[in-house]
Structure 1
Amino acid sequence: MTAKFLFGLAAAAAATILPTLAVAQNAPNASASAEALAQELDGDSITVGIGAGYLPDYEGSDDYRWTPVPGVIGSVSGINFQVLGNRASADLIPNTSGSSWDLQAGPLGVINFTRTNRASINDPRVRALGERDTAIELGGFVGIGKTGVITSPYDRLSVSVSYRHDVSKVHRSGIWQPTINYFTPLSTKSAVGLFGSVERVETRYLRTYYDISPAQSAVSGLPVYRNKGGWNSWTAGAIGTYSLTGNLLKGFKIVGGGTYRRLINDVADSPLVKVAGSRNQWLGVVGLAYTF
């Protein structure tokens, strides 16, 4: 399961707890409705869910598979947190009630399962390259968000940058990821979002997952290749959520979305991508969540 896919799912989960006050403008008592929902939003909230993800066998593969993706996202005493599949993060700067600006900073961690299970890879040439150990990547992020930007007083635009480093001595390198997110509520029952990111990886990451040694070339039939590192991809995606019971701040909801990821530079030229896979990576998820 790729970190990029779960980043998309994290964006989806975040959309389920966005302010959904725009519909209050059309209510008979607009100010009372807005105030009631605002007070509810300022309280503690936890969303749990399970989804089905459709993703490549490995980053760069042109073979796809379905996999379950569990998740939990919440806000307790102004601290926001997410645990989604193989990714966890927490914003340790409490949100200030009534403020339109939101400073963000906190830890994040990813369990990297890239090519850790040969049975999940369909291409026999890539299977012949062998498995990799599971990497534990730890780091942090900083960002800033603004509420009331484009479509209404309740939409939200945020930018952030994260860095994480392998602490398990598998690829022994780091990953930078600047990100931009935009979310807007359509009513008390629905919300949509757009997001984009770019990723820069250090040399040893690409050499761990995308290099092919002479010995590996002999057993796989793929040509010898050695990476240098650098910017390796950009991603764009969209997400939506619809409440089945209550509103987006309580009850059951459907969450769904997808991303397109383009591999670039050295990683795109690796035979694992150029010969055995594809630069174009499509990711999708549909799931059911409950907020209480």
Structure 2
Amino acid sequence: MTRYLPRLLRLKTTSSARGAVQTIVLASALGLLPVTTLAADLENGDVAVVPPQEFDSGRYGDFRDRLHDWKVTVGAGAIYMPEYEGSDKFDINPLPIISAEFGDRISVDITGVTVDLYEANGFRAGVKGGYDLGRKEDDSDYLRGLGDIDAGGIIGGIVSYEVGPFEAYAELDKTIGGSDGLTGTVGAKASYRYESFLFSADVSGTWADDKHMESYFGVTSAQSANSGLAQYDAKAGVKRVDVKGSITYMMTENWLVTGTAGAGFLMGDAKDSPIVKDDVQPFAMLGVAYRF
């Protein structure tokens, strides 16, 4: 069954390097990196990689078997997404795909690490750590005059309950620094494997506290003067609902093609913010990856 969908993070520093990082961050927050959830689903089809005889495993160690044990996935793709949360303009950017799982407890991807602390009878509970790169006012012309939202670390917890192909989950994340906000997500997903195809669908809702909402959707008097937008107070509440689906095709034992598409629907004070140009936020990703 699928593991936890990664969170959405969006990045930028210089136009190229920072843009690539921001793309990854936003993609993970929307759960657009499905290859990081495939290890458990494809576990029955795993076959150990046998090194060629000329490889000196006695001297160097069998690193390929170790990569197999870690269930490492690397690849690249492209992502179509809004310039920022609430934008009506979209970017298509390159997207690196990197993830690893060790055993049944530890999951690592470019957004952070998740550690399962308890698992029994379909129930899981774990903790996670990661980062939020905030938002830069030069991400979009619409954000001019609003200033930057600083980066911060994320600590959180996650619980899930799985029955057959279905899973319900809940996450709680606290940002340390940056917005200093608190967000909670609840959702349900299902997956189905047919021959070399893996299908999955997910629906979720995200709640955010006053600090998160004010940082990303509020407009202070100073920001209003600088940007020309109306002053606006964004309060805690449900900020968005997301619906998405993914298809992964195993071309070979190791090579896969994966894609995700869906849309987020901004709600409440987020939807009514003058920063938001469109409350419907479509997104899509297509990539190719190799599983060691």
Structure 1 counterpart of 2:36, one-letter code: A
Uncovered stretches (5+) of structure 2, i.e. residues with no partner: 1-8, 11-24, 49-67
1:61-114 deviations in whole A, cap 9, x for unaligned?
11111233333334433225141x4354233446x8xxxx43222222342234
Please state if 1:157 is matched with 2:160: no
The aligned counterpart of 2:139 is 120
Retained in 2: the 8 A contact 1:46–1:73? yes
* Alpha-carbon distance in structure 1 between the residues aligned to 2:72 and 2:163: 22
Alpha-carbon distance, 1:136 to partner: 1.7
The aligned counterpart of 1:142 is 159
* Alpha-carbon distance in structure 2 between the residues aligned to 1:291 and 1:17: 13
Alpha-carbon distance, 1:270 to partner: 0.6
Instruction: Report the 3-state secondary structure (helix = DSSP H, G, I; strand = E; otherwise coil) of the residue aligned with 2:275.
Output: helix
Structure 2 counterpart of 1:143, one-letter code: S
Give the alignment's Cα RMSD to 1 decimal: 2.4
Alignment of 1:82-231 (within 5 A): 82-83=108-109, 85-93=110-118, 101-116=121-136, 118-121=137-140, 123=141, 125-147=142-164, 156-168=165-177, 170-187=178-195, 189-231=196-238
* Alpha-carbon distance in structure 2 between the residues aligned to 1:166 and 1:245: 40
1:21-55 deviations in whole A, cap 9, x for unaligned?
7xxxxxxxxxxxxxxx4898xx8332223232221
Alpha-carbon distance, 1:166 to partner: 1.3
Please state if 1:288 is matched with 2:291: no
TM-score (norm 1): 0.77
* Alpha-carbon distance in structure 1 between the residues aligned to 2:46 and 2:111: 32
Query: Between the two proteins, what is the percent identity of the paired residues?
Result: 23
Please state if 1:252 is matched with 2:271: no
Which one of 57, 62, 84 corresponds to residue 83 of structure 2? 57
Uncovered stretches (5+) of structure 1, i.e. residues with no partner: 22-36, 148-155
The aligned counterpart of 2:55 is none
The aligned counterpart of 2:27 is 5
Structure 1 counterpart of 2:214, one-letter code: R
Distance 1:90 1:288, change over 3 A: farther
Instruction: Report the 3-state secondary structure (helix = DSSP H, G, I; strand = E; otherwise coil) of the residue aligned with 1:255.
Output: strand
The aligned counterpart of 2:74 is 48
Retained in 1: the 8 A contact 2:149–2:179? no
Alpha-carbon distance, 1:4 to partner: 6.2
Alpha-carbon distance, 1:163 to partner: 0.6
The aligned counterpart of 1:72 is 98
1:106-150 deviations in whole A, cap 9, x for unaligned?
22234223423x3332x2x41221211112221110111122xxx
Please state if 1:269 is matched with 2:286: no
Q: Relative contact order (C-alpha < 8 Å, sep 6+): which is higher?
A: 1
Moved more, 51-60 or 68-77: 68-77
Instruction: Report the 3-state secondary structure (helix = DSSP H, G, I; strand = E; otherwise coil) of the residue aligned with 1:62.
Output: coil
Retained in 2: the 8 A contact 1:192–1:241? yes
